[in-house]
Chains A and B, each alone.
Chain A
Amino acid sequence: MDFILRSLVTLYLVLFSTFIQAAKDPQDSKGIAFVHGTKDHRDDAYGGYWKVDFIQSIANSLSKPENHFVVHCDFSQYMWHEDAANCVADQLLQFVTDKKITTLKVYTHSDGANIIRWILSNPTYDSRYLSLKRYITEVVAIAPSSAGTPLADEVLNGGIFETSLAWLLGYLSDAVKQQRVGDMLIFNEELLLGSKGRPSLSIPFRVVVGTDVVASPFVSSSYCNGYILNSGLKIAKLYLEKCADGYINCASQAQAGDVWFYDYEKTDNQEALNHNQSRHSCSGFDKILISDLAAEGTVK
């Protein structure tokens, strides 16, 4: 009798304390993470690749601003390489453990989407992938190179690597090879899910498409995140289709997942976000992402 009474009291306390915990702040366990694009960003993902004001602007809108994380790995490798996908999985699992995160929203830029898509497409490759997948509720893929970029083909054509676009792509690396149009066609067909004609991913993969490069000394948006870099993208865009962000054609960006919006549909003054600007607070982009978080009830 005594045992039954004690068991009931214990059960009551466990349930009651759980309710108190849950009622205290239901948003506390939500986190966000930023996954950079191609090249090795182990040292400069925070502040170099993703700009500090952009990260802080979004993080500060969270009910717990410290629940954000900036992945810093070596994406000069193929997506499946331990320095790429395994590094992402390790860092994000550590983050969710340290901060007791229960749900994670991931923002990727450029090739970062391919690394996350590799993890989400192959959850059984490694138990870390499967563990991480259970935390991720949504991926916002900003300017993803889901079908590659002709620029990677340009610099690798003819068996010689040419350095003329190295400022954008990095030097000859597996990541450049991976992002050739022909390679991504095969990877989408064989190893990655979520593109047309393939089983969809298990979680929403919402795409923000960058559509143009504006680099005119007379247009103020041309100066956001560096006029020189924006003018470089203007030249690189010569190799791309009319709808492109200076690095990736719109069709490639929209190849996997669901298009959330084309930049001009939501930005200030319907301005385009080139590939350099879509990881920065240009044309009100950070505000768009914050509004989206607010709609989910994740912000303060």
Chain B
Amino acid sequence: MKANKYLLISLMVVTQAQAFDLPRQPVKAYECDVCSKLSHENLQDKWEITAQPLNRKISNRQKSYSYREEVTAEQLHAGVVLPTLAPGAVMRITPLQDRALPNLILKTPDNQVLSLQQASVLYSEDEAFGDKSITTKHQTMIQIKPELGFGNFTLKSKKSNAKPKQHYLISVFDKFSTSYLQVETDSVHYQFGDKLTATITLKDDDTNYTSDKVEATLVSPTGEMTPIELTKINHNQYEGTASLSSGVNDHGENWYIEASVSANYGDHFLRRSGHTAFSYAVPSASLLNVKKISTKPLTFVATLDIATASRYALQSVLFRKNGGEAKPIETSQKAQWLETGRQVIQFTFDNSSQFADDMLYLGYLRLIDYGQLKTVYQYNQPIKLSKLVD
């Protein structure tokens, strides 16, 4: 135990004196209810990887051709107008209480009144599809016959025998429409104190709709909803910002931006709602520097600043450059329990092909906090091994 302590101190002294400094991020502690239950063992694994590039830029842009509406039994009896922009739309009607649906009729844009069965090319009602545990739930799903066209359909219950407090959820998927709502944020990863910018865009290749109502909401993993104020930045494009300052451990769950839009063009009315996800973490640790301490085996030591005691894993990649771009050849993963304060993680690579140091780079440094199940630090740029020694 004492020997380990001296080793740790000596490694820290050595690394601080001669290490490659990494961009440092401010760290913040969070209350971790699960961390102490995580493994306290030091574990390492390493393996050869394919030479596929690791610098892919990802976007959380999501498109929606759908909208949904919650209505009461009274509203359903009076008739709910459901606009579509293309033939063959799909509708689902689900009671929010466990009750059967009333008999429903659909009035088409050219005023035909049809039962749902008559109006649909595919129809499903209260079918459990083999899962007997689901049989008590009610739902109806239809695909409207393409020959009935598109426009304003009206869904209506025949009799008003449902209890007024009964609510229904109607979802419309305008499958073949060219108009969609696009929701995205300016990053996929955020940390405490970051400002998020959300962009909401209504896109249509054929028709120049003008959006008249656009809303966006920030949704936390616990379902807490915060409206986002939007500003128009282009035709049918809106932007809003939110400051992220939660200090709560989300246990790996993600945050969402939900948005909805309504628009019109002459007699045509358009509605869409959609969402996108992003990752949010409390920056519970930061890498400070990294240094190579041995060639055989190829060994590095990284120094970290830890704000919350937890189990951390450092994933890193060894790259080889032989002219052109540095290509990944091997990855190493080392996890250990780290107390707060300055700590070190020592990790090795096999370098089984015995490539010379001057061809090798260390990069793709990702620190995962298993207490939050989030990546809390990343440095992707490959660093030439010669920069990691004296």
- Which of A's residues lie within 8 Å of B, judged by CB? 78, 80, 122-127, 130, 133, 153-154, 157-160, 162-164, 166-168, 177, 180-183, 185-186, 189-191, 193, 196-200, 202, 226, 228-229, 231-235, 238-239
Residues of B within 8 A of A124 (CB): 43-45, 313, 333-335
When A and B form their complex, what is the total count of cross-chain residue pairs whose Cβ atoms lie within 8 Å?
A: 164
A125 contacts B94, C-beta separation under 8 Å: no
B56 contacts A196, C-beta separation under 8 Å: yes
Which residues in chain B, 49-91, are within 8 Å of chain A measured between CB atoms? 49-50, 52-56, 58, 60, 62, 66, 68, 70, 90
Residues of A within 8 A of B41 (CB): 127
Check B271 for interface membership: any CB of A closer than 8 A.
no
A239 contacts B188, C-beta separation under 8 Å: no
Residues of A within 8 A of B70 (CB): 160
- Which of B's residues lie within 8 Å of A, judged by CB? 39, 41, 43-45, 47, 49-50, 52-56, 58, 60, 62, 66, 68, 70, 90, 92, 94, 96, 122, 124, 127-131, 134, 137, 139-141, 143, 169, 171, 173, 175, 188-189, 219, 223, 225, 252-254, 256, 258, 273-279, 311, 313, 315, 317, 328, 331, 333-335, 364, 368, 370, 373-375
Least CB separation from B279: chain A residue:
A186
A226–B173 CA distance with the chains assembled, in angstroms: 27
A21–B94 CA distance with the chains assembled, in angstroms: 63
A123 contacts B173, C-beta separation under 8 Å: no
A185 contacts B52, C-beta separation under 8 Å: no
Main secondary structure of the interface of B (DSSP, over half): strand
B129 contacts A232, C-beta separation under 8 Å: yes
B68 contacts A123, C-beta separation under 8 Å: no
Least CB separation from A197: chain B residue:
B56
A6–B115 CA distance with the chains assembled, in angstroms: 93
State how many angstroms separate the Cβ of B333 from the closest Cβ of chain A: 5
- Answer whether A185 and B373 are a contact pair too, CB < 8 Å, given A127-B43, A160-B169, A167-B127: no
Residues of B within 8 A of A196 (CB): 52, 56
A130 contacts B134, C-beta separation under 8 Å: no
B368 contacts A167, C-beta separation under 8 Å: no
A45–B145 CA distance with the chains assembled, in angstroms: 39
Least CB separation from B122: chain A residue:
A235
A198 contacts B54, C-beta separation under 8 Å: yes
B171 contacts A130, C-beta separation under 8 Å: no
A177 contacts B58, C-beta separation under 8 Å: no
B275 contacts A78, C-beta separation under 8 Å: no
A171–B127 CA distance with the chains assembled, in angstroms: 15
Least CB separation from B143: chain A residue:
A238
The one of A185, A193, A228 that contacts B188, using a Cβ cutoff of 8 Å: A185
B254 contacts A126, C-beta separation under 8 Å: no
A182 contacts B131, C-beta separation under 8 Å: no
Residues of A within 8 A of B276 (CB): 182
- Answer whether A130 and B130 are a contact pair too, CB < 8 Å, given A162-B94, A164-B92, A185-B58: no
B313 contacts A153, C-beta separation under 8 Å: no
A80–B373 CA distance with the chains assembled, in angstroms: 9
- Answer whether A239 and B173 are a contact pair too, CB < 8 Å, given A125-B313, A158-B258, A180-B277: yes
